[in-house]
Amino acid sequence: MIFLSSLGWTPDREAQLPAGTEAARVARVDRGRLTVLTADGERRVHPAAALHDEAGVESPAVGDWVALRGELAVAVLPRRSAFTRTVSGRTSTAQVVAANLDAVLVVDALAGETRLRRVERYLAVAWSSGATPVVVLTKADLCDDVASAVAEVAEDALGVEVLAVSSVTGEGLDAVHAVLGPGRTAAMVGPSGVGKSSLANALAGRAVAPTRQVRESDGRGRHTTTARELHLLPGGGLLVDTPGMRELALYDDLDGVDTAYADIVGLAAQCRFRDCEHRTEPGCAVAAAIDDGTLDPGRLLAWRKLQREAHRQLLRVDARARAEERARTRAFFRAIRDQPNRVR
């Protein structure tokens, strides 16, 4: 018997639940079937036809709360937060990768090349989801000066909590457990190889995610596993680990960029000219901050680059949306024209 509260259920959701239904949390979605966690344990159910949504936005995603009537999920309860990605293909809609996250662990390693810019990019994605980001720097056992590495990232990450852990020695795991807390749900984002699977296993205290070594030795990708993608941790928290989250395309959200670079946005608001491009304009607060050393020029460059990427992505989505609209309109008129008994 599991208590719904340990799955992240809150009493205020009670009113959202249609009469005669039971609450369940989606732990996995495959080919239209759902693996859900309920007060009685794990179950496989089907989404009702009404939940089939071509765009994929309204259909259940990992982390969603659904209302069950027997073996049928009849409703998706309102989401508190959602991680979406733009699906490239015929449609230009966003697909929900994970829902109802309280925290997003932005994972990077304390080994390897400079990580600031990378962390910034993932932080922007995390902010745009509506969940609170926390930076988790792994492989602390491989780093000689953990304290200064953490301080460097913390200074850059503007008020975001920064934790250092080692999945090998177990150092720092308690602090991550504390972030997760009973009934709180987190997911991990970060580049390949930084130790997300190892962290998931260390937090769960059992092998819930195959690490790279395991995957390479058995020659199968992680997509072939059918394990659930929402894990109950011994500390009471829940961890989402879905392939979709790992493959998250960076950058399709300008608001996320602005939140991650709130310092630059704040400076830009003080520039003399509203359309200041922060290059050679007089009265530029951004240039002044670089001159007096309070703003790292690398940070400005990274911001410019992300803004360009985000704009390009938005334009692409927009162009696709317009093309689709035109195709729909054409099809509509063709249908009218082809009607045998149309009124002339």
Identify which of residues 76 and 268 has a Cβ nearer to Zn ion in the complex: 268
Q: DSSP states of 37-78 as a string?
A: EETTEEEEEEE-GGG--TTSSSS--BT-EEEEETTEEEEEPP
Identify which of residues 141 and 161 has a Cβ nearer to ligand GTP in the complex: 141
Cβ partners under 8 Å of residue 66, min gap 6: 23, 24, 25, 26, 34, 36, 45, 47, 60, 73, 74, 75, 76, 77
Any contact of residue 115 with ligand GTP (CB under 6 A)? no
Binding residue for ligand GTP, selected from 138, 264, 285, 310, defined by CB under 6 A: 138
Q: How far is the CB of 263 from ligand GTP (least distance, A)?
A: 29
The interface partner of residue 196, options being Zn ion, ligand GTP, none and the CB cut-off 5 to 8 Å by kind, is ligand GTP
Any contact of residue 117 with ligand GTP (CB under 6 A)? no
Any contact of residue 242 with ligand GTP (CB under 6 A)? no
The interface partner of residue 212, options being Zn ion, ligand GTP, none and the CB cut-off 5 to 8 Å by kind, is ligand GTP
230 half-sphere exposure, CB direction, 13 A CA radius:
32
C-alpha–C-alpha distance, residues 236 and 276, integer Å: 49
Any contact of residue 231 with ligand GTP (CB under 6 A)? no
Binding residue for ligand GTP, selected from 133, 195, 237, 256, defined by CB under 6 A: 195
Which among 5-13, 135-143, 155-163, 277-285 is the span making contact with ligand GTP, rule CB under 6 A? 135-143
C-alpha–C-alpha distance, residues 243 and 227, integer Å: 12
Amino acid at 276: C
Tell me the site size for ligand GTP, rule CB under 6 A.
18
Q: How far is the CB of 277 from ligand GTP (least distance, A)?
A: 37
Q: How far is the CB of 274 from Zn ion (least distance, A)?
A: 10
Identify which of residues 274 and 337 has a Cβ nearer to Zn ion in the complex: 274
Q: Exposed, middle or buried: residue 69 (CB in 10 Å: 0-12, 13-18, 19+)?
A: middle
The interface partner of residue 271, options being Zn ion, ligand GTP, none and the CB cut-off 5 to 8 Å by kind, is Zn ion
C-alpha–C-alpha distance, residues 86 and 302, integer Å: 22
Q: Is the dihedral of CA 262, 263, 268, 270 positive or negative?
A: positive
User: CA–CA distance from 157 to each of 134, 216, 303, 325 (Å)?
Assistant: 9, 34, 13, 40
The contact set with ligand GTP (CB under 6 A) reads: 138-139, 141-142, 166-168, 192-198, 211-213, 246
